[in-house]
A and B are shown apart, each in its own frame.
Chain A
Amino acid sequence: MDLDIFEFYDKMEQSNIMLSFKGEITSDLLTSILQIMEAKLDNFEEKSKTKKRVYNVLVECLQNLYHHVDEVAPVDDRSKRARTAIFMIGKDEEMYNIMTGNYIITKNIPPLTEKMDRINKMDKDQLKALYKEILNNDSFSEKGGGGLGLVDIARRTGQKLGYNFKLIDDEYSFFSLDIKISHIN
């Protein structure tokens, strides 16, 4: 394996990464990550408000991964790769930074982009109205998604959703999401 571990370490150190994971996303894994992060947030002695915000956003980000790796069919070799995801959390002087990456089906990019762009254009009151509208809509998905997760993240963080898509082939793309949460106010 042609992999320089120090290079990995150094990059993560420079980006102030405190926890990262790459692999299959299971319910038990999420429980463990959340426990570790809760202990870390306690250690940092964050204000209760900040701690709760980071924790809530973390839950939404991780559960987005959990629910959406399912959509990429786990049949052949390629989709086995597609079931895994990456997650990282870092902290600098002003912000917590939560980054996730997972495969998605390429044809699902346009509606997702449209949704995120729409959210990114909204102010606090518009996000609140959209949240309530989706919440009170009976056609909410079985998985509990319905796009409420991203609206909730935008509402809690007050920041734009950062995102990127990398085209892998005709069928698959890699979706990365970059969320920032202030810990200074």
Chain B
Amino acid sequence: MDKISIEPTPKTPLINFDPDKGHIEIRGRSIPENSLEFYKELLEWLDEYGNNPQAKTNVEVQLEYFNTSSSKCILDVFKALEGIHKKGGTEMVIHWYYEEDDEDMLEAGGDYEAIVTVPFEKIAIEEE
């Protein structure tokens, strides 16, 4: 599989996916009107990655904003990761970053953590 890197826009996040290192990164804002279209590609890559994952898969999610349309797609991403994790071939942690006073983003991480079985680590970062 090739490395994938998508540049951020005012409404969509940066995405880095390095299948050789088992590294998946989503960073920035995710507020597109049509989230399904944006996340479709990432879900397809994950599907392929799941056939032959690395021993360790590191997922980094650092969102500044996301809309409710994206929230479902992000859950789909986590569920795809959960599917890979459940097969047992890879150790996986989802790192969920939030600005230290952003209790809404911390709570959003907790919502996902309660739905998917992949281990979550919620990490506070200082405000920019």
Residue of B nearest to A149 (CB): B68
- Selected contact of A49 from candidates B70, B75, B102, B115, CB within 8 Å: B102
Task: Indicate if the CB atoms of A142 and B72 lie closer than 8 Å.
Answer: no
A128 touching B10, Cβ below 8 Å: no
Main secondary structure of the interface of A (DSSP, over half): helix
Q: Which residue of A lies closest to B110 (CB)?
A: A128
* Main secondary structure on B side of the interface with A: helix
Closest A residue to B75 using CB positions: A135
Number of chain A interface residues as a range: 20 to 34
Q: Which residues does chain B contribute within 8 Å of A30, judged by CB atoms?
A: 33
**Which residue of B69, B99, B103, B114 is within 8 Å of A63 (Cβ)?**
B69
* CB closest residue in chain A, given B104: A156
Number of A-B pairs, beta carbon distance below 8 Å:
74
Whole-angstrom distance between the Cβ of A56 and the nearest chain B Cβ: 6
A102 vs B65: C-alpha distance when bound (angstroms): 25
- What A residues does B105 contact at CB under 8 A? 52
Residues of chain B touching chain A, judged by Cβ–Cβ distance below 8 Å, are 10-11, 31, 33-36, 64-65, 67-73, 75, 99, 101-105, 107, 111, 114-115, 127
Show 9 residue pairs from A and B whose CB-CB distance is below 8 angstroms, ordered by the A residue. A34-B10, A35-B10, A63-B67, A66-B33, A131-B111, A132-B111, A132-B114, A144-B73, A148-B72
